[in-house]
Amino acid sequence: MSILKRTPLFDFHVAHGGRMVDFAGWEMPVQYRSILDEHKAVRRAAGLFDVSHMGEVDVRGPGALAFLQSLVTNDLAKMTPGRVVYSPMCGETGGVIDDLLVHMRAPGDYFLCINAGNIDKDLAWLRERRAAAPGLDVTLADRSGDTALIAIQGPRAAGIVRSLASGPAVAAALDDLNYYHFATGLTIAGIPCSAVARTGYTGEDGFELYHRPEDAPRFAEALLAAGAPLGLELAGLGARDSLRLEAGFPLHGHEISGDISPLAAGLAWTVKFAKNSDFCGRAALEREARDGSARRVVFFKTGDRRIVRAGAAVIDEAGAPLGTVLSGTLSPILNEAIGSALIDTTALAAGRALLTDIRGAKIALHPVKPPFVALKK
Amino acid sequence: MSNIPADLKYAKSHEWIRPGADGIATIGITEYAQSSLGDITYVQLPQPGAALKAGDSFGVVESVKAASDLYAPVAGTVVEVNAGLDSAPEKVNQEPYGGGWMLKLKIDDLAELDALLDAAAYAAIVG
């Protein structure tokens, strides 16, 4: 028997018509009304997402920076309080255990935001690495259960959140908050937020609002009431996925995984070999950087409305296998199927045509450099 | 509660059929089916002239989430398909019993209609 976990907004979702599904062990809304409409609302105005299922981990102590630097591929040395850095966290083979956001509150005081489906695995990995470094003065605390998270994303997100600032100082703090920065101690709609981050995974401007679980339903209603006149709509996991794919962002388990390194995924910018710290996976990634990746993630569009599903084989004109589709959806903005695939590098270098078979029809996959649509940020 | 018109017949696989006086029936998918599928993005239909047996797959309806086969409720010959769905598959979501119809079938044996579900029996299936 498996019992699905619920976020503090479960009743809110049901009350607002959310269609609840099992997502990585969580009972989450895949959509409220229409995935396509929710997607378009985020690009046009704004969307409200419950991302409370994501995990949060505090990493604290004089050794926190050294500990994190040994875990992630990006360089955290130049972070200042209030900064957020995106990074893969790799295993020894260079595969990605998870991708996460590192938030720096103060020297020796960080928190990580990690993927919902990876919370247990990440915590086990963090604790294992912590145990392997007894000389480091660092503590780990899983805050996932006592943290709720709402994302407001879209061109009108800033105006909506600002309209609920508890006073001019909070409004000014929101105005001053740059992309990939966060602030603590702000009260929005009367709800104290442990962090307000100008981050998100849709490619749009927006905020991620960390707060107490008991405040979540009142907070969501207040945000919805303030935002609805400006076009804010509730958005579920379906729109979240099509938005992130349209933006060209990787999703763990798809474009990055234990089998797909950040280099193969086109995330070389997140792997800082020059940083003044060793990190897990460095040797394997250095080898891959030197020798080249055997396979590479390619984003594609098709010019066709038929969705190319994850797992579909990518073939050449003679039917020989060249790779596998990792993600696929219909871009509601382009009105055509888009996706990503893991392709043999030799086939890419040779410029071979990439095709897939949908019920007997050969569909051409045209490689493109994402994002698929012009983004605000 | 789904809209299940009383004047139609239904297949367990969620297609509806509206028999016409000339032996030509119109076929589509139910309100329940389109709602379960979510946003419909593509509908693949057969060529006019195709001969179908009851239970044959006559096409595929794709939503953002999945691709699902469509099944002929009775045997017959396709006389027309709804070409408008090529450019506007969302019609199936918006008007499943109207503008979202899929094909017109010249029925081989009208007696086969008796084996299909009436509205009450279909309602019992979809709850």
Query: How many domains does the structure of chain A reveal?
Result: 2
Give A-chain residues touching B64 at CB under 8 angstroms.
Answer: 35-36, 238, 242, 307, 329-330
Looking at the structure, tell me whether residues A205 and A343 fall in a common domain: no
Q: Do B42 and A307 touch (CB under 8 A)?
A: yes
The pLDDT > 90 percentage for chain B reads 95
Whether residue A250 contacts residue A260, with contact meaning beta carbons closer than 8 Å, is answered with no
Residue-level pLDDT, tens digit, chain A, 377 residues: 568 999 999 999 999 999 999 999 999 999 999 999 999 999 999 999 999 999 999 999 999 999 999 999 999 999 999 999 999 999 999 999 999 999 999 999 999 999 999 999 999 999 999 999 999 999 999 999 999 999 999 999 999 999 999 999 999 999 999 999 999 999 999 999 999 999 999 999 999 999 999 999 999 999 999 999 999 999 999 999 999 999 999 999 999 999 999 999 999 999 999 999 999 999 999 999 999 999 999 999 999 999 999 999 999 999 999 999 999 999 999 999 999 999 999 999 999 999 999 999 999 999 999 999 998 65
Looking at the structure, tell me whether residues A208 and A330 fall in a common domain: no
Looking at the structure, tell me whether residues A216 and A268 fall in a common domain: no
Report pLDDT for A353.
96
Give me the sign of the Cα torsion angle A162, A164, A167, A169.
Answer: negative
CATH assignment of the domain containing A43: 3.30.1360.120
Per CATH, the number for B9-116 is 2.40.50.100
Average pLDDT of the segment spanning B40-47? 97
The pLDDT tens digits of the residues spanning A146-188 come to 999 999 999 999 999 999 999 999 999 999 999 999 999 999 9
Report pLDDT for B1.
59
How sure is the predictor about B2, in pLDDT bands with cuts at 50, 70 and 90?
confident
Q: Do A34 and B39 touch (CB under 8 A)?
A: yes
Which of B38, B62, B93 faces A307 most closely, judged by CB atoms?
B62
Distance from CA of B50 to the nearest CA of A (A): 18
Report pLDDT for A375.
87
Looking at the structure, tell me whether residues A218 and A197 fall in a common domain: yes
How far is Cα A229 from Cα A217, in angstroms, rounded to an integer?
Answer: 19
Q: Do A306 and B39 touch (CB under 8 A)?
A: no
**Residues 6+ positions from A142 with CB-CB distance below 8 Å:** A55, A56, A57, A119, A123
**Residues 6+ positions from A268 with CB-CB distance below 8 Å:** A262, A289
Question: How many helices (H) and strands (E) would you count in chain B?
Answer: 3, 9
Looking at the structure, tell me whether residues A278 and A331 fall in a common domain: yes
CATH assignment of the domain containing A340: 2.40.30.110
Report pLDDT for B21.
83
A to B CB pairs, distance under 8 Å: 39
Whether residue A223 contacts residue A164, with contact meaning beta carbons closer than 8 Å, is answered with yes
Tokens of B105: 């079938």
Q: Is residue A298 part of a domain?
A: yes
Report pLDDT for B124.
95
Q: Is the ipTM of this complex over 0.95?
A: no
- Tell me whether A30 touches chain B (CB under 8 Å): yes
Final residue before a domain boundary, out of A219, A245, A271: A245
Q: Where are the domains of chain B?
A: 9-116
Whether residue A264 contacts residue A293, with contact meaning beta carbons closer than 8 Å, is answered with yes
How far is Cα A303 from Cα A142, in angstroms, rounded to an integer?
Answer: 45
The pLDDT tens digits of the residues spanning B12-31 come to 999 999 999 899 999 999 99
Final residue before a domain boundary, out of A217, A245, A273: A245
The pLDDT tens digits of the residues spanning B86-123 come to 999 999 999 999 999 999 999 999 999 999 999 999 99
Looking at the structure, tell me whether residues A168 and A43 fall in a common domain: yes
Range of the domain at A281: 253-368
Give B-chain residues touching A37 at CB under 8 angstroms.
Answer: 39
Q: Do A307 and B93 touch (CB under 8 A)?
A: no
φ, ψ (nearest 5 deg) of residue A265: -85, 0
Looking at the structure, tell me whether residues A240 and A260 fall in a common domain: no
Q: Do A36 and B42 touch (CB under 8 A)?
A: no
The pLDDT tens digits of the residues spanning B67-77 come to 999 999 999 99
DSSP 3-state of A31: strand
Give B-chain residues touching A307 at CB under 8 angstroms.
Answer: 41-42, 62, 64, 67
To test the contact with chain A by mutation, choose from B35, B36, B37, B41 the residue with the greatest count of A C-beta atoms within 10 A, namely B41
Q: Quick one: DSSP state of residue A216?
A: H
Which of B38, B62, B93 faces A31 most closely, judged by CB atoms?
B38
Final residue before a domain boundary, out of A195, A218, A245: A245
Report pLDDT for B127.
77
Q: Quick one: DSSP state of residue A302?
A: -
Looking at the structure, tell me whether residues A359 and A217 fall in a common domain: no
Which of A36, A306, A359 faces B39 most closely, judged by CB atoms?
A36
Nearest-by-CA chain B residue for A33 = B38
